[in-house]
Amino acid sequence: MNPLDPRLHQALDGDGPGGNLPPALERQRARLEQAAVLLATGRESPSVAARVMATVRHPLPARRARLLRWLFTPRAIVLRIRPAWSLALAAGILLVSLLPAPGPQLPLGAEEGIAQFVARFPGARSVSVVGSFNDWQPDQIPLEDRDKDGVWRGVVVLPAGTHEYMFVVDGERWVPDPLAGRYVEDDFGRQNSLLIVRAEKR
């Protein structure tokens, strides 16, 4: 494969002084432009509009409703501790998580675990968690900052396994968990945080 004359690239890119190309280069330009025109000619194919809109209108499955029901369950085992600003807070949460929970056990499935999300967003009006476990729906898992100290918390039951997630701040700013430790790039060029949930031992 021989390199093409730089003048041909300039002409195709709209760079350079312009003007006529030598006949041999004009033929190459015409060949490439003709190929592009042919490739731009699509055949009639069925629209995916109905399929997409049917999915868009689809109601939430039952699993998501279950996640919502358990959202603010007070007894929880902490699997991850995130706020870097305070080691004391992290140690406190860990201590609480290690104490035996009073009262009846949570009705977890055999392949489910509990995740607690904690993140510090001072001044935020709202914070929610979106992820592969809730189809990235921003309004389903809101976190709470009851004492208005900028630390937002929420507890949720998740299927055991690896989940991608982000925080949504004030309904519009999507940010990864700065302390997740594990990340993966998504289709939109962002870094999603990774969360590993282990099935709760009985």
**Contact region for other proteins (CB under 8 A) — 18-26, 67-75, 133-141, 176-184?**
133-141
Pairing of strands 151-159, 112-120: antiparallel
Q: Applying CB under 8 A, does 142 fall inside the site for other proteins?
A: no
Q: What is the dihedral of CA 139, 145, 149, 155, to 10 degrees?
A: -100
Q: Applying CB under 8 A, does 59 fall inside the site for other proteins?
A: no
Q: Applying CB under 8 A, does 13 fall inside the site for other proteins?
A: yes
Q: Applying CB under 8 A, does 39 fall inside the site for other proteins?
A: yes
Please state the closest distance from residue 154 (CB atom) to other proteins, in A. 19
Map tokens 């009705």 to a residue. 107
> Phi first, then psi: what are they for 123, rounded to 5°?
85, -5
Q: Applying CB under 8 A, does 24 fall inside the site for other proteins?
A: no
Please state the closest distance from residue 171 (CB atom) to other proteins, in A. 7
Pairing of strands 183-185, 161-169: unpaired
CA distance 192 to 170: 18
| Listed residue (23, 27, 43) closest to 35, CA to CA | 27
CA distance 90 to 73: 20
**Of residues 18, 19, 20, 49, which one binds other proteins by CB under 8 A?**
49
Q: Applying CB under 8 A, does 88 fall inside the site for other proteins?
A: no
Q: Which residues bind other proteins (CB under 8 A)?
A: 1-4, 8-9, 12-13, 28, 31-36, 38-43, 45-49, 51-53, 55-57, 135-138, 168, 171-172, 174, 187-190
